[in-house]
């Protein structure tokens, strides 16, 4: 969610650690104010939220009687880990030689790095901690910004445009209805998201019905992007080629970059970033319930302190989300998830941040 409005495209990851070398104020609120004073007119973006110096100062000065975590999460409509946000800002300010770069931390990167809460923080008992590895800060282009890859093209973000997903909310719902017209799944998703949006919640559908080729490509890009050696790349390439044939896909991609294994990993990273994939499994790529219209990925951010829902089965509930530590994010709210699962007929895959499956 943090973006430095500077001029050049950042390509090198930002070094990250858990030591404060620039921000030395006594409290997280004071450190955010200090970051704002040092940031000046530059801006940082995390998960679509722009924070320049004045915005950070205003955030630090908001509701001083309120717990600061709640202030930050309400102001940004994001489940921010305030301590890890401070560490990130400290690293940005420390890297003075990067001041000319456009620094963008996408939602997925921010969750993986611990700047935003991760499902593991809530459900897995293994919180993500910022500073364990460098963080990518270049700005990915969405699939629709690329020319679709042609048969035989080398891996890269152009493949994200080859088997496209819909880009509009209503298109996603229409695809769900077309895939399973008698299920009522699209209507239940619409009902839930419309009620949330009416209460000033940010809602997005990121994926619904998906091509099997697209699922395979997402998984392949994810696997290759995580390799760190020539041997790891070679074994992954063999696996991808074997599964492409065994699954009967014959997706016409060239997975190996001609410039070597490191170029393969970097191209895979850019490809995965264009898809927005931060989690993928072999079984998901082969059998995903997205393929038959039985799943939808959606995000609901900035839930109010009091949330009122009416379910298709007639159940009515008002949820108290006023606790200072509430994530205010549907995908990270265990109590709310359980109620939606029971009364809207869908199941949350907790390890996959946005994923819900139809159970009817």
pTM summary value: 0.92
pLDDT digits (tens, 9 = 90+) for 185-204: 999 999 999 999 999 999 99
Name every residue whose Cβ is closer than 8 Å to that of residue 283 and which is 6 or more positions away in sequence.
none
Name every residue whose Cβ is closer than 8 Å to that of residue 181 and which is 6 or more positions away in sequence.
none
> d(Cα 166, Cα 210) in Å, to the nearest integer?
9
Count of domains forming the chain: 2
Q: Is residue 129 part of a domain?
A: no
Q: Specify the pLDDT at position 101.
A: 83
Whether residues 274 and 240 share a domain: the answer is yes
Residue 306 bridge partners (DSSP)? 320
Q: Is residue 137 part of a domain?
A: no
From 79, 97, 124, give the residue that closes a domain.
124
Whether residues 265 and 326 share a domain: the answer is yes
From 89, 124, 159, give the residue that closes a domain.
124
Whether residues 228 and 342 share a domain: the answer is yes
> d(Cα 85, Cα 31) in Å, to the nearest integer?
10
Q: Is residue 135 part of a domain?
A: no
Tell me the Ramachandran region of residue 102: left when phi exceeds 0, alpha when psi lies from -120 to 50, beta otherwise: beta
Whether residues 33 and 161 share a domain: the answer is no
Q: Is residue 175 part of a domain?
A: yes
Q: Is residue 1 part of a domain?
A: no
Whether residues 161 and 59 share a domain: the answer is no
Tell me which residue range forms the domain holding 349: 142-360
In the chain, which residues have pLDDT < 70? 1-11
Q: Is residue 329 part of a domain?
A: yes
Whether residues 73 and 213 share a domain: the answer is no
Which tokens hold the place of 176? 């769900």
> d(Cα 178, Cα 314) in Å, to the nearest integer?
26
From 79, 96, 124, give the residue that closes a domain.
124
Please give the angle made by the CA atoms of 101, 105 and 106, to the nearest 5 degrees: 135
CA 116 to chain centre: 9
Q: Is residue 105 part of a domain?
A: yes
- Which string of b and e fits 308-319 if b means at least 16 CB within 10 Å? ebebeeeeeeeb
Within 10 Å of residue 57's Cβ, how many Cβ atoms? 17
Whether residues 155 and 181 share a domain: the answer is yes
Whether residues 100 and 152 share a domain: the answer is no
Within 10 Å of residue 278's Cβ, how many Cβ atoms? 19
190 by Cβ neighbours in 10 Å (0-12 / 13-18 / 19+) ranks as middle
């Amino acid at each position: 969610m943090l973006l430095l409005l500077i001029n050049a495209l950042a390509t090198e990851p930002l070094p990250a650690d858990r030591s404060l070398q620039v921000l030395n104020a006594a409290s997280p609120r004071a450190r955010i104010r200090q970051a704002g004073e040092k940031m000046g007119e530059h801006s940082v973006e995390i998960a679509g939220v722009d924070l320049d110096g004045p915005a950070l100062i205003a955030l630090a000065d908001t509701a001083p009687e309120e717990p600061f975590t709640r202030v930050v999460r309400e102001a940004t409509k994001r489940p921010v880990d305030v301590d890890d946000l401070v560490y990130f800002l400290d690293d940005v300010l420390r890297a003075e030689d990067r001041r000319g770069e456009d620094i963008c931390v996408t939602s997925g990167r921010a969750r993986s790095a611990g700047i935003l809460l991760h499902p593991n923080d809530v459900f897995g008992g293994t919180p993500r901690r910022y500073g364990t590895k460098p963080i990518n800060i270049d700005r990915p282009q969405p699939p629709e910004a690329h020319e679709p890859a042609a048969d035989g093209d080398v891996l890269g973000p152009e493949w994200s445009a080859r088997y496209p997903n819909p880009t509009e909310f209503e298109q996603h719902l229409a695809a769900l209805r077309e895939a399973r017209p008698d299920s009522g799944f699209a209507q239940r998703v619409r009902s839930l998201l419309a009620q949330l949006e009416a209460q000033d919640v940010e809602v997005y559908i990121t994926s619904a019905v998906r091509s099997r080729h697209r699922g395979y490509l997402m998984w392949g890009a994810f696997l290759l992007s995580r390799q760190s050696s020539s041997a790891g790349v070679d074994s992954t390439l063999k696996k991808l080629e074997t599964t492409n044939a065994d699954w009967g896909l014959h997706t016409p991609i060239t997975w190996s970059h001609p410039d070597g294994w490191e170029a393969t990993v970097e191209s895979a990273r850019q490809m995965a970033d264009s898809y927005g994939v931060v989690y993928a499994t072999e079984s998901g790529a082969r059998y995903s319930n997205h393929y038959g219209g039985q799943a939808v990925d959606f995000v609901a951010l900035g839930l109010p302190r009091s949330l009122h829902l009416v379910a298709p089965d007639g159940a009515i509930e008002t949820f108290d989300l006023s606790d200072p530590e509430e994530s205010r994010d549907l995908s990270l709210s265990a109590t709310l998830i359980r109620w939606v699962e029971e009364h809207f007929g869908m199941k949350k895959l907790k390890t996959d941040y946005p994923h819900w499956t139809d159970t009817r």
